[in-house]
Amino acid sequence: MSELALIFDKLEIDTSDVLEAAATKWNFLNFKPGLVGGHCIGVDPYYPAHKAELLGYHPEVILSGRRVNDYMSTFIARKVVKLMLAKNIAVKNSRALILGITFKENCPDIRNTKCIDIYHELKQYGINVDVFDPWAKPQEVEEAFQFSLIDDVFQHTY
């Protein structure tokens, strides 16, 4: 689904509109594009891929899917910057807020989160990035990523 979202973006078609239209079909499976993180999704495809390669087979589909999913963080950050430029918002020294650092909803686990990739990509553009996540444990975020979560989004202006 993420790869389709990349193609739709190139075509200047809203992915949400495509999904809404597709949902009218009786057998539609409601997958959505996005960040794919977490241990099982982020790492486990490498286990069968490694074993297959040991046996002399290069699993193209499994590894290709992983490459697409790994690229989504960069795509999202670049899309944000392009939208800012289109709206004449100065990118350098601007402020951005990431809502959520955990890899799935209602779970405090930050291992293998792809949100950190968006954070770093935006920082490379000179954007001041804050992160808010009521589920994440602040000390774990500081130890893992060397920044502090904000504890109140209403104390800041974006």
Q: How many residues does the chain have?
A: 158
Residue 127: closest CA among 157, 97, 106, 156: 97
How many Å from the N-terminal Cα to the C-terminal Cα in the chain?
30
The DSSP code sequence of 24-92 is: TSTT----------SHHHHHTTHHHHHHHHHTT---HHHHHHHHHHHHHHHHHHHHHHHHHHHTT---T
11, 40, 54, 61: the catalytic one is 40
Q: Catalytic site residue 40?
A: yes
- Give catalytic residue positions: 40
